[in-house]
């Protein structure tokens, strides 16, 4: 009976999702259900619950600020034309549609997503994919497949939350998540090869896709080890990007970046340099709140926003209201608010589950299944990632429970947390909100004429209806997600 009561908030989220309820309402109802179940079946002194929430408050604030600053940075970079300058340079340098697609999937989208999160990488990738000649369905799926570095999206708040709730080291979770992301990278490479099989030599395409995926994987893994988890996605995605640019230069298609592109990239450079410098200075200090604030990704994302708005060449004193920082901040707030509410509610719910023993009770019940549960645990988190559209929210819902299962079974908590983090992140590729965003952008962007000259009509694709695109895209992503979840489940079970 207690296990059923503990499962109510999680089961309610699933039921409401399939009934078509909006994510914000799902999170509110789930949190309310969790509080009610805790009051009735898991009475806990308010001092204990309050102490738990107070201890977790800095993490909650940091996560919410990271997400907001990521949205604001994306908004500023888009409004000032900085992102268009960077992506336009990369698009113009690509010698072919095939190589341009690989750069987008394994370089541009992972980089943009690692900096800003929220699926913003899709907004960068789709226009480039359309302009190099891809149809609406293909632009949609390729941009979504580029979300393969979500564990480090927005400098990794979801991975940070998983480490906090499980009591494991952020560095260890980041490294193990990177190791376990290899099937994701290779799976995306195989699917991209299949989808582009008619664009020239399959053998060369396969080699290029696998090489790009391995460069991204090794870059993220190396960055986790050398630079820490927050910057791993940002720095790791630069490895395949740099490799592609070297190939473009060798082929003679690389266009000189120039001052405009360098200026547009300045906020990213400042953010990365600031994070590296403060991490080096504070690494040997006591774990004080002030030191954490100085070296926090949230702090340096805010700095990057200020550089993007007030930096060289920006008309921040313009009389146009939309060019003012206050206007951009309010616009970003409106975009962030629904996701902020969802993240806050599920994060508080996760803390309540942990503090009241609800997560432990549910974990004990699942552990009764024995080692076989370990094989399906990644798929459980994948479902949560699909429902919430966020690895942060999925980890908030289930990390306490998954940690308890691993503890009860005597299995590795680190392996459990990392495997479920990876699958929850991958499942956001198919989340309805991400799919709709990619589709709307693909339809709104005119397709480039094959051969690279001019633009065709945005409505030229006869298969561009939303339902048709969904029917084409989702089975392919779900098949890849099922395979990766099965592989990581098998690995987790074998390590038991």
- Which 3 state secondary structure label does DSSP give 453? coil
Residue 413 domain-assigned? yes
| Segment-wise mean pLDDT, segments of 10 residues, the chain, 496 residues | 88 87 88 93 88 82 84 84 82 86 94 81 84 89 94 88 91 96 97 90 92 97 93 93 91 85 89 83 62 82 91 65 84 85 85 85 88 93 86 87 92 96 94 83 69 41 74 93 96 89
For residue 137 the two structure tokens come to: 């369905």
Helix axes 391-409, 2-18, angle to 10 degrees: 150
Q: What's the distance, CA 93 to chain centroid?
A: 27
Cα distance between residue 228 and residue 309, in whole Å: 27
Instruction: Bin 154: left if φ > 0, else alpha if -120 < ψ < 50, else beta.
Output: left
Residue 104's pLDDT is: 93
Which has the closest alpha carbon to 388: 441, 358, 346, 416?
A: 346
Per-residue buried b or exposed e for 163-196, using 16+ beta carbons within 10 Å of the residue's own CB = bbbbebebeebbbbbbbbbbbbbbbbbbbbbebb
β-sheet bridge partners, residue 455: 448
The domain of 142 spans 1-448+465-495
Residue 475's pLDDT is: 93
Residue 467's pLDDT is: 82
Cα distance between residue 296 and residue 294, in whole Å: 6
Residue 450's pLDDT is: 45
Radius of gyration of the chain (CA): 22
- Which 3 state secondary structure label does DSSP give 403? helix
Residue 240 domain-assigned? yes
Cα distance between residue 280 and residue 272, in whole Å: 12
Per-residue buried b or exposed e for 466-477, using 16+ beta carbons within 10 Å of the residue's own CB = eeebbebbbebb
Cα distance between residue 404 and residue 409, in whole Å: 9
Which has the closest alpha carbon to 399: 373, 426, 425, 421?
A: 421
Residue 27 domain-assigned? yes
Residue 90's pLDDT is: 80
Cα distance between residue 361 and residue 377, in whole Å: 16
* 82 in Cβ contact with 112 (< 8 Å): no
* 75 in Cβ contact with 123 (< 8 Å): no
Residue 376 domain-assigned? yes
Q: What angle do CA 199, 205, 209 make, to 5 degrees?
A: 125
- Which 3 state secondary structure label does DSSP give 138? helix
Residue 455 domain-assigned? no
SS3 sequence of 118-132: CCHHHHHHHHHHHHC
Residue 454 domain-assigned? no
Residue 458 domain-assigned? no
Number of domains in the chain: 1
Residue 132 domain-assigned? yes
Within 8 A by CB and 6+ apart from 395, the residues are 158, 159, 161, 162, 165, 350, 381, 420, 421, 424
């Amino acid at each position: 009976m207690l296990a059923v009561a503990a499962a109510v908030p999680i089961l309610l989220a699933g039921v409401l999702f399939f009934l078509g309820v909006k994510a914000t309402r799902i999170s509110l109802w789930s949190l309310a259900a969790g509080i009610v179940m805790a009051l009735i079946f898991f009475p806990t002194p308010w001092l204990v619950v309050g102490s738990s929430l107070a201890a977790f408050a800095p993490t909650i604030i940091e996560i919410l600020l990271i997400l907001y600053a990521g949205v604001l940075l994306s908004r500023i970079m888009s409004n000032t034309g900085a992102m268009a300058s960077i992506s336009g340079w990369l698009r113009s340098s690509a010698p072919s549609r095939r190589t341009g697609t690989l750069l987008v999937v394994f370089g541009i989208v992972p980089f943009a997503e690692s900096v800003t999160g929220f699926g913003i990488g899709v907004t960068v990738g789709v226009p480039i994919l359309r302009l190099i000649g891809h149809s609406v369905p293909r632009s949609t799926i390729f941009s979504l497949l580029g979300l393969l570095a979500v564990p480090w999206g927005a400098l990794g708040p979801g991975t940070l939350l998983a480490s906090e709730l499980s009591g494991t080291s952020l560095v260890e979770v980041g490294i193990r998540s990177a190791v376990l992301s290899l099937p994701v990278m290779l799976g995306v490479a195989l699917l991209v090869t299949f989808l582009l099989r008619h664009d020239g030599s399959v053998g060369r395409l396969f080699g290029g896709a696998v090489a790009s995926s391995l460069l991204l994987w090794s870059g993220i893994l190396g960055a986790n080890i050398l630079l820490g988890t927050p910057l791993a996605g940002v720095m790791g995605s630069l490895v395949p990007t740099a490799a592609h640019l070297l190939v473009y230069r060798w082929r003679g298609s690389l266009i000189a970046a120039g001052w405009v592109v360098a200026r547009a990239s300045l906020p990213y450079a400042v953010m990365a340099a600031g994070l590296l410098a403060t991490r080096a200075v504070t690494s040997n200090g006591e774990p004080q709140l002030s030191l954490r604030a100085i070296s926090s990704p949230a702090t340096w994302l805010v700095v990057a926003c200020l550089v993007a708005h007030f930096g060289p060449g920006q008309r921040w004193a313009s009389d146009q209201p939309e060019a003012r920082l206050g206007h951009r901040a309010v616009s970003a707030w409106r975009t962030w608010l629904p996701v902020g509410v969802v993240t806050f509610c599920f994060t508080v719910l996760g803390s309540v589950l942990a503090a009241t023993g609800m997560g432990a009770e549910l974990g004990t019940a699942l552990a009764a299944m024995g080692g076989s549960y370990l094989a399906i645990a990644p798929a459980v988190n994948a479902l949560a990632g699909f429902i919430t559209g966020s690895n942060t929210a999925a980890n908030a819902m289930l990390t306490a429970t998954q940690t308890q299962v691993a503890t009860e079974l005597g299995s590795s908590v680190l392996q459990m947390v990392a495997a479920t983090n990876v699958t929850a992140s991958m499942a956001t590729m198919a989340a309805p909100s991400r799919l709709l965003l990619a589709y709307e952008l693909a339809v709104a962007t005119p397709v480039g004429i094959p051969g690279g000259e001019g633009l065709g009509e945005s409505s030229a694709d006869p298969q561009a209806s939303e339902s048709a695109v969904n029917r084409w895209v989702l089975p392919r992503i779900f098949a890849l997600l099922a395979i990766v979840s099965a592989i990581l489940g098998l690995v987790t079970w074998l390590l038991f």
